[in-house]
Structure 1
């Protein structure tokens, strides 16, 4: 008589334990749910900066003169995004101008060439930065000297054209812009 009771108790305990284990399992993600991207931990906490840490760095001119491909130009624009993000974290707004001359016009011509590719990232990055207020300036001397048609440049507007890229970088520095040369 005791054996059937013990077996019943063991069976009930086993069933209860299984039910509890099933309840403890995380719910399966919905079929259309995207996995959450884990944030990378570099092994050191993010540095804390004072609100005035970037004082005087709000105005920046990025002088792009190098030849590159989509990946290289994305690297340059990634630096601009990081600059803006760093200043935003301290409550400062960035006035950023990208001045392109010489081989630097490749930034916009490459974006124009790849804009219809499904995996192209450069046009979207340019658009994103423009939406954040970044200006993209085009050297007229380079257009004429290299016989580059204006319509071969991604999202270029007539008001983006400046007489000389080199002179514009110098003019902006004289107005207090910090010069960054990738």
Structure 2
């Protein structure tokens, strides 16, 4: 009689711990086989049949549609180049943006992966519309207040956010093992309140 309550306790504790750890693993994105370049992380296997079960479960939970290995690669940043968490109240400069890709996009999402409210209706830039310096390199300012040039509003409420740099038709997705040859932009904090 004494073993039944102990068994139920152990079963309940195991279920709570197991489900909690699974939720925690899936909430952080597909954490295995990550390609890290500076503050940017990508998962080259996420859009392939070789994706691990946690990556597939995380994608099913989020509803994201990853790029296939022949299409390109999406890099995500939640921290600046110094390692501090991205904060919507701060001002950041993202440069030099000249990734090895035929086409690229840079977009800002809130911590949950949704597009935040934007006072100007802008959530990102594409390689076709961004203003470039004379050397062909682009820079984007992410800040809550308007800035000249390529300004991306971080949202009126501030708070944590993530940046997603998608590279289309790029050799990076096929040469993920050679990440030392790939140069992605720095995310430089220029000031916080």
TM value normalised by structure 2: 0.27
Larger Rg: 1
Name the structure with the higher helix share: 1
TM value normalised by structure 1: 0.28
Name the structure with the higher strand share: 2
